[in-house]
Amino acid sequence: MSSPAVQPILTLLACPVGGNPTQYAVEKAFAHHGLDWRYLTLEVTPDDLHDAVRGMRAMGFRGGSVADPHRRSILPLLDGSSDTAHLLGRVNLILGEEKRLVGDNTEGRGLVESLRHATDPAGKKCLILDAGDFARAVAVELAASGASEIRFVDPSIERAAEAAGLLAGKYPATATPLLWDQDFRIPEDIDVVVQAASRLMHEAQQHPSIDLANLRPELIIVDVAVDPEAAWLLHAAAGRGCRTLDGLSVLVEQVAVDFRLWTLLDPDRQLLRESIEEFLEL
């Protein structure tokens, strides 16, 4: 229970902070559960990050969220980190307790939780379009959940190989790099395809095209783009009868994962979804 004299405080550290729906959704969940907590969105420059972390610790913050450009640079400023955060070299979640701040990485956890509504990731062969930071976080969670094979597809074969190397020797899953060139064809033996190249509306990127000939109804397609209009793979997959998961569902599950780690309470997913939709005007 929260002490009536001391409000638990969470924060988002980012630069810039505009357009992030986390505070709006989390505070709706606080109200729903009757929690007298507060979530603050703070714009912190890279030069001020060290002082911001010291302030969080000194004031007994219960934790918070970390967005770019701080997800890598904040790691050595914390008092500890989870194995996932250490492996990825990135923190997006902070848990505070007794003046200690511990970093975690839940970037890929929401996607895996969403995927579980459609299938058990264990034993599945997964294809991830992109090999950037978010794609790697997704791959780590898929591997930890028992996926048998993970293939990274990226316009840079070097970046794909680096991502595959991150998993080597740490999980039973086989990790393979593939070049994403024009009209890349999805292999016929793949079970799950994750479009991880762009997520939020301001992160849209240009990538080579996909040959859709091998999209079949048995495939599960996850497109992490939160803006429905940007979910290009989702639209194509739905037209071919594939099972699909949208980026908003993935984001909702990630917020739910974080909320549960902070409060030990499981939030209402529909409430979170409606809050994010309202904030982003979707």
Question: Which pTM value belongs to this model?
Answer: 0.91
User: 71-100: per-residue pLDDT in tens?
Assistant: 999 999 999 999 999 999 999 999 998 889
Same-domain status, 140 and 211: yes
Cα angle 237, 218, 151 (rounded to 5 degrees) comes to: 80
pLDDT computed for residue 208 by the predictor: 65
Strands 192-195, 100-104: parallel, antiparallel or unpaired by DSSP?
unpaired
User: 126-163: per-residue pLDDT in tens?
Assistant: 999 999 999 999 999 999 999 999 999 999 999 999 99
Q: Does residue 227 belong to any structural domain of this protein?
A: yes
Same-domain status, 101 and 113: no
CATH number at residue 243: 3.40.50.720
CB 267 within 8 A of CB 213: no
pLDDT computed for residue 201 by the predictor: 41
Sign of CA dihedral 70, 28, 21, 137: positive
Q: How far is CA 148 from CA 120, 123, 224, in A?
A: 12, 5, 22
Same-domain status, 234 and 124: yes
Number of Cβ within 10 Å of residue 61's Cβ equals 19
CB 61 within 8 A of CB 97: no
Amino acid at 90: R
Tell me the C-alpha distance between 175 and 92, whole Å: 24
Same-domain status, 140 and 46: no
If pLDDT is split at 50, 70 and 90, which confidence band does 228 have? confident
Same-domain status, 25 and 94: yes
pLDDT computed for residue 239 by the predictor: 85
pLDDT computed for residue 202 by the predictor: 39
For residue 245, list its beta bridge partners: 222
Same-domain status, 92 and 142: no
Give the length of the chain.
282
CATH number at residue 33: 3.40.50.10860
pLDDT over 70 at 122, yes or no: yes
Q: Does residue 143 belong to any structural domain of this protein?
A: yes
Same-domain status, 37 and 97: yes
User: 166-198: per-residue pLDDT in tens?
Assistant: 999 999 999 999 999 888 899 999 999 999 986
Which residue, 105, 138, 154, sits at the end of a domain?
A: 105
Tell me the C-alpha distance between 6 and 61, whole Å: 10
pLDDT over 60 at 282, yes or no: yes
Q: How many domains does the chain have?
A: 2
Two tokens, residue 28: 């709706």
User: 192-207: per-residue pLDDT in tens?
Assistant: 999 998 655 434 455 6
If pLDDT is split at 50, 70 and 90, which confidence band does 220 have? very high
pLDDT over 60 at 58, yes or no: yes
Two tokens, residue 29: 């969940």
Q: At what angle do helices 269-280 and 22-33 cross, to 10 degrees?
A: 140
pLDDT over 60 at 111, yes or no: yes
Which residue, 105, 137, 157, sits at the end of a domain?
A: 105
User: 7-20: per-residue pLDDT in tens?
Assistant: 999 999 999 988 89
If pLDDT is split at 50, 70 and 90, which confidence band does 229 have? confident
Q: Does residue 178 belong to any structural domain of this protein?
A: yes
Same-domain status, 214 and 142: yes
Which residue, 105, 133, 148, sits at the end of a domain?
A: 105
Mean pLDDT, to the nearest integer, of 205-228?
Answer: 83
Same-domain status, 215 and 144: yes
For 203, the domain range is 109-247
Same-domain status, 97 and 114: no
Same-domain status, 113 and 101: no
Same-domain status, 176 and 74: no
